[in-house]
Structure 1
Amino acid sequence: MLLCRPAELPGPTWLLLAGLLLPFSAALEASGPLHRAVGSSVLLPGLQNITHSRSTRWEFLSGSGPQPILQHHGAVLPPAIHPAYTGRALFHPSNGSLLLEDVQESDSGTYRVTGDRESLEIQLEVLYPVSRPQLWASNLVAGAPGQLVCEVSEGRVDSISWRKDGQPLAPGRVSWLSSSSSVLLLSPAKRSDCGSYSCNASNGISWQETSLEVTIEGLSHRLKHTLRMAVVAVVFAVVSAWGLIIPVCQSQKLRIRGELWRWLSCYTCGLVCMACILDGTAGVLWMWEEGPSVAVILPEITLSYLTVVTFLVAITAIFQPADFSHLKSKKAQRAMGYAAPGAVLAVLLSSSFLIRSIYRRHEGGCTRFMDVTVLVASTAAVVALPLLAIGLCYQRTQSCPQEQDGSWIDKVSFEMSEPGPKDTIPS
C-alpha cells in the first residue's frame, strides 16, 4: 500500500495513523473473496496471532444466523467439530486455518474465525466451471440486421467477451440478454462483417471459448427465387426464339406447314407466354424486396400485355386455327405475327436487367454467387424436347413425300410464317 504523508500532520500523529492502518489493511487482504470449484478443497486462513489465542472458533454466517463449524480450546484438547462438518473439516492448530473438503454451492458464503480479542471474515464462492459456449448466428443477409448469440448452459458466468479475427470488439455492439447469454448485433450486416468470431465466457474459476466462421449472404431467399425465375424465363425465351427462327430460315418449298405448323406455333407462343409470366413474377418479387422502381414497373406493363396476346395466339392455334385466315386488318395481322418475337425480346431485356441487378446486390455479401448451370441445362433439355419431336416428324414427312392438299391449315401457316397482309382492304 502506498501511503502519502499529509504536510499539515505533525510527525507523531502520522506515525500513530500509520500504525493503525497497517493491521486493517492486512485484515482486508485476508478477507478477500475466494473462488473454488464444486467438489474441490479450500483452505481458509486463520488469524495472524493465533499463537496468542487460548481459543479459536469457526462458524458459517448464513441467512438464519451463525452456524458453528468447530471450537478449539488450548493445545491439549482436540477441536470439537460440528456433526454437519464431520469428515469434511480439518483444523490446523498451528496457524488456525480450516480446510474444507468436497465443497458444494451451498458452502458459498461468509466464514468467520474468532480468537480471544479479534475475528476475521472470509468470503467463499463455490462455482461450477462454465461449459463451452454455444455460438450461433441468425440468417445473415447483406443490408439486413443480424445477430450472433453466445449462450452458456452450465456454470455461473461473470463475463462474456467477443473477438473478431483475434481483435476485441467494441462494447457498444454487444448486449446482454441474461446472465448466461450475450448478443453481438450486426445492424446492418455487410461484407466487412465476414470473418472468424470468438466468444469467451468466464467466471472466478474457469473460462471457455468458442469460435464461429461467419459469412454474410448477398441474397435473401426471395431474391434467390427471383434469380431462378429470371434464368428460367431466359431459357424459355431462347428456346422460343429458335422455334420462331427455324420456319423463317426455311425456303418456301420446304417450309413447315399443316399440322406441324399448328403445333409448332402453339408450343412456341405458349412457351413465350410462360416466359413472360415468369419474368413478370420475378419483377414483382424484386420490387417486394427492394422497393418499387420505374425500371421494373414499365417492363411489367409491357410483359402483361404480351402475356395476354401470346396466350390468345396459342389458344387460337390450338382450337380455331382457321380464324387466322380471316384476319383482314393490318394491325391485327401485325399484332399476331410479331407478338411472339416481341415477347422474346422483352423477356430477354427485362430478365437481363434483373439478373444484373441481383448480381450487384449479391456483391454486398461474401458468399459465392448462386450456381445456375444445372438449372439452365435441365430446363433447356426439357423445353427443347417438343421442338425436337416436331423436327423429327418434319424429317419423316419429308422423307415420305405425300401430295399436299390445299387445306386451310396450309393457307394459315403460310400467312403466319410471313407476317403482313396479303390482301388489301377494299376502300
Structure 2
Amino acid sequence: MSLCRPRELLGNTWVLLAGLLVLFPRALAAPGPVLKAAAVGSSVLLPGLENIILRDSLCWEFLNGSGPRPILQHRGGVLPPALHAPYAGRAVFHPSNGSLLLEDVQESDSGTYRVTGGRESLEFQLEVLQPVSRPQLWASSLVARATGRVVCEVAEGRVGSITWRKDGQPLSPDRVSWLSSSCSVLYLRPAKRSDCGSYSCNASNGISWQETSLEVTIEGGELWRWLSCYTCGLVCIACILEGTAGVLWMWEEGPSVAVILPEITLSYLTVVTFLVATTVIFQPADFSHLKSRKAQRTMGYAAPGAVVAVVLSSSFLIKSIHQRHEGGCTEFMDVTILVASTAAVAALPLLAIGLCYQRTQGWHKDNDGSWTDKVSSFEMSQPGTKDTIPS
C-alpha cells in the first residue's frame, strides 16, 4: 500500500475547495454594497446579477431599519412582474438583464437595495441628495491681535464636507470647527497681517459642490483707528483755521500770490484729511480696495503735508503781524503761552482715546470668551460633530 498518492491527494483537495465554495459563497466573497449617489428627482439604474438568465428567479427588495421591503419577485419568463407599493409606477424592471430603474427618486429612497437570484446576491447603497446651495461666507470684526472668525454656512442640501483655502492654498483642519453639519468656522488666533487675503469655502456632497470667496482684511486695531481719526481731524481743523486767517489777512492787505497759493493747498488738504478721518472711523475696510499707488501716497502724505503747509502759512502770517506791530507804538504780545496752552488742550483727547481703547479691548475679550463658550456648548450638545473637517 503506497503512503503517498500525490494525484489522488491533489484531486481530493480541489473537490474539498469546490464544496466550500458551494456551501459558503457569501462568506468567501462577501463583497460590500456598491455605493451610488443621485440627485433628487433623477433616475437611477441598479444593474442586475451578471450570470442571470431569463428563466432564473429574481427578487429585488429594499432594506431599512424595520426589515426588508419587497419590490418585486420575478419567477422567470420575459414578462415583467408586478411591483409592490410604493414602487408601482415609478420603477421599471428589465427581465432581460434583471436591472431595476428607479425614477424620480426622493431622499426617502435612500438606503440599501438587494437583488437575489439563486445563490447570488448583490447590494447597492443608494444616497439621494439635494444639491448644495452656494455657501454664505462672512467674517466677524477682524482686529489685529484679537481672535477673528470667518464663518461658512450652507442653507440648502446635505453637506458631506467643507474645505477652506486661502489664496488658493488649502488650510490646516486644526483651525476649523464645525458648529453643525452645514456650518463651519475658521478661527484666526490671533488675527495678524499675514491673515489678510482671499478666503474660499467649498461645500460638497456626493452629487454637487459650490464655492464662495471673501476678501478678508485685518484692521490695525481700535487704537490705530482713533489715533488716525484724531490726527487727521486735528490737522483738518488746523487747515480750516489757517485758511480763515489767510482770508482775513487778504481782506485787510489785499490779494497776494504768497497767500493765494497756500490757500488753494490748504483747501485741498482740508478735504483729503476730512475724508480720511471719516473713512477710518466708519469704513476702514475701504482702504484695502485702494490699488492705485497715487491714491495710497495721497492718503499717506495728507496729514504730514498739511502740517507742513499749516506751519509755513502760520509762520508767514505771524511774521506779517509782527512787522505791522513794529510800525506802531504798542508792544508785540508773546504768543508762547498761548501756543503751549493750545497744545495742552489738544492733547486732552489723547487721554480719552486711551480710555476708550482700554474699554474696547475689554469688550473684545468678553465677546471672544462668550463666543468660545457658545461653540463649546454647541459641540457638546452635538455628539456627531467633530473639531475638524471629516474626511
TM range (shorter): 0.5 to 0.7
User: Is the aligned partner of 1:102 residue 2:104?
Assistant: yes
Instruction: Give the equivalent residue in structure 2 for 1:90.
Output: 92
Does 1:80 pair with 2:44?
no
Given the alignment, which residue of 251, 260, 273 partners 2:325? 251
**Per the alignment, in what secondary structure is the counterpart of residue 34 of structure 2?**
coil
Equivalent-residue separation in structure 1 for 2:31 and 2:208 (angstroms): 25
Per-residue deviation, 1:68: 2.2
Q: Which has the higher mean CA deviation after the structures are superposed, 236-245 or 77-86?
A: 236-245
* Residue 163 (structure 1) shift: 1.3
Report 1:347-358 matches (<5 A): none
Partner residue, 1:167:
169
CA deviation profile, 1:367-417 (whole Å, cap 9, x unmatched)? xxxxxxxxxxxxxxxxxxxxxxxxxxxxxxxxxxxxxxxxxxxxxxxxxxx
Picking from 190, 201, 204, the partner of 1:202 is 204
Which region of structure 1 is more displaced relative to structure 2, 133-142 or 100-109? Answer: 133-142
Cα 1:76–1:168 shift into 2, 3 Å: closer
Q: What pairs up with 1:97-176 in 2 under 5 angstroms?
A: 97-176=99-178
Alpha-carbon distance in 2 for matches of 1:68, 1:290: 65
CA distances 1:85-123 after superposition (whole Å, capped 9, x unpaired): 222111111221111011000111111222233433321
The alpha-carbon distance between structure 1 residues 131 and 256, as it changes in their structure 2 partners (threshold 3 A), is farther
How many residue pairs match? The answer is 275
- Give the conservation status (yes or no) of the 8 Å contact 1:237–1:275: no
Question: 1-side partners of 2:339 and 2:348: how far apart?
Answer: 14
SS for the counterpart of 1:61 is: strand
2:229 paired with 1:228: yes
Q: Which has the larger radius of gyration?
A: 1
- In structure 2, the CA distance between the partners of 1:41 and 1:25, relative to structure 1 (3 Å rule), is farther
Question: Does the aligned pair in 2 maintain the 1:104–1:126 contact within 8 Å?
Answer: yes
| CA distance, structure 1, for counterparts of residue 210 and residue 329 of structure 2 | 78
Give the match's secondary structure for 1:28. Answer: coil
Shift of 1:199: 1.2
State which drifts further: 191-200 or 245-254: 245-254
- Identify the match of residue 31 of structure 2 among 28, 36, 43: 28
| Aligned-partner Cα distance in 2 for 1:111–1:192 | 51
Cα distance in structure 2, aligned partners of 1:110 and 1:43:
14
Instruction: Name the SS of the counterpart of 1:112 in structure 2.
Output: strand
State which of 21, 32, 42 in structure 2 corresponds to 1:40: 42
- In 1, the alpha carbon distance for the partners of 2:130 and 2:349 equals 59
What is the alpha-carbon root mean square deviation over aligned residues? Answer: 4.0
Instruction: Give the TM-score taking structure 2 as reference length.
Output: 0.59
SS in 2 for 1:275: helix
Whether the 8 Å contact between 1:237 and 1:272 is mirrored in structure 2 is: no
TM-score, length-normalised on structure 1?
Answer: 0.54
CA contact (8 A) 2:54 2:78 kept: no
Shift of 1:248: 5.5
- Matched-pair contact (CA < 8 Å) for 2:80–2:95: no
Tell me how far apart the structure 2 counterparts of residues 139 and 35 of structure 1 sit (CA, whole Å): 40
| One-letter amino acid of the structure 1 residue matched with residue 140 of structure 2 | S
Shift of 1:255: 7.6
Could you tell me how far apart the structure 2 residues matched to 1:283 and 1:179 are?
Answer: 43
Q: Which amino acid aligns with 1:278?
A: P
Local SS of the residue matching 1:50: coil
Summarize the Cα distance change of 1:284–1:245 in structure 2 as closer, same or farther, 3 Å threshold: farther
Q: What is the DSSP-based 3-state SS (H/G/I as helix, E as strand, rest coil) of the residue aligned with 1:16?
A: helix
Residue of structure 1 equivalent to 2:255:
none
1:78 Cα deviation (Å)? 3.2
- Kindly state the Cα deviation for residue 198 of structure 1 after the two structures are TM-superposed: 1.5
Once the two structures are superposed, residues 338-366 of structure 1 have per-residue CA deviations (whole angstroms, 9 ceiling, x without a partner) of xxxxxxxxxxxxxxxxxxxxxxxxxxxxx
Letter in 2 for 1:28: P
Aligned to 1:278: 349
Alignment partners' CA distance in 1, 2:88 and 2:330: 106
Alpha-carbon spacing, 1:277–1:214, altered in 2? closer, same or farther (3 Å): same
CA distance in 2, matches of 1:177, 1:187: 18
Distance 1:286 1:93, change over 3 A: closer
* Inter-CA distance 234–132: structure 2 relative to 1 (3 Å threshold): closer
Structure 2: distance between partners of 1:92 and 1:166? 48
Distance 1:145 1:170 in 2: 17
Separation of aligned partners in 2, 1:36 and 1:133: 21
| 1:233–1:281 Cα change, 3 Å | farther
Which residue does 1:320 correspond to in 2? none
Q: Distance in 2 between matches of 1:255 and 1:110?
A: 109
**Distance of aligned partners of 1:215 and 1:25 in 2 relative to their CA distance in 1, 3 Å threshold:** farther
Q: SS state of the match for residue 80, structure 1?
A: coil
CA offsets per residue over residues 131-160 of structure 1, 9 Å max, x none? Answer: 111122222122111111111111111111
Match of 1:212 among 211, 214, 221: 214
C-alpha displacement at 1:125, in angstroms? 0.7
When residues 119 and 136 of structure 1 are mapped into structure 2, their CA distance, relative to the original with a 3 A threshold, is same
Query: Secondary structure of the equivalent of 2:201?
Result: strand
Q: How does 1:313-352 map to 2 (within 5 A)?
A: none
State the identity as a percent.
59
Following superposition, the deviation at residue 270 of structure 1 comes to 9.0
Give the partner amino acid of 1:275.
Answer: A
Tell whether the 8 Å contact from 1:40 to 1:101 is kept in structure 2 after alignment: yes
Q: For 1:188 and 1:91, how far apart are their aligned partners in 2?
A: 60
